[in-house]
Amino acid sequence: MNYYKLRRSPFLNASKTKQTNQQIVIVGDSHTRNSAAELKHCLDPTFAISSFVQPCAGMKDNINSAREDIKKLKHDDVAVIWGGSNDIGKNNSKEALKHLCYFMKNNQKVKTIIMTAPPRFDLLPTSCVNN
């Protein structure tokens, strides 16, 4: 038998590559760490998932870090915004909402999921930061 006939061509599987149908971009502060890996584990391989994590950054910095990638998203793609805890901790929640509204206004073609900031358990439940 001829050795070259037994070998598989590396181009045989090129037609079987999976096309990514939908992209998911996760943007946030330290609470979003490892969320892209967990989501990738739970979804089909046809989803392209990326994340932009900036610990200790405010909402403005989080959104600006992923601006170019979010502009490339199509109509069916999803942007997950998960931040604001640093703004709330510094009593700048109005500033975070302003940047979030600006993001929503400029990216209406993208499906957007807004995640709330987690509560701070080191403060009293009646604290204005947790409200």
- What CATH code is carried by the domain that includes residue 43? 3.40.50.1110
Its pTM stands at: 0.71
Residue 98: per-residue pLDDT:
87
Residue 87: per-residue pLDDT:
72
Question: Quick check: is 131 in a domain?
Answer: no
Question: Quick check: is 64 in a domain?
Answer: yes
User: Can you tell me which residue has the tokens 């009646």?
Assistant: 126
Give Cβ neighbours of residue 102 (< 8 Å, ≥ 6 apart): none
For residue 8, is pLDDT > 70? no
- Token digits for 116? 């709330």
Question: Quick check: is 98 in a domain?
Answer: yes
| Counts for the chain of helices (H) and strands (E), in that order | 6, 4
Question: Quick check: is 24 in a domain?
Answer: yes
Into how many domains does the chain fold? 1
Question: Quick check: is 79 in a domain?
Answer: yes
Give the residue numbers spanning the domain of 27. Answer: 20-115
Write the pLDDT tens digit of every residue in 51-99.
Answer: 888 888 888 888 888 888 888 888 889 999 887 777 776 777 788 888 8
Question: Quick check: is 69 in a domain?
Answer: yes
Question: Quick check: is 7 in a domain?
Answer: no
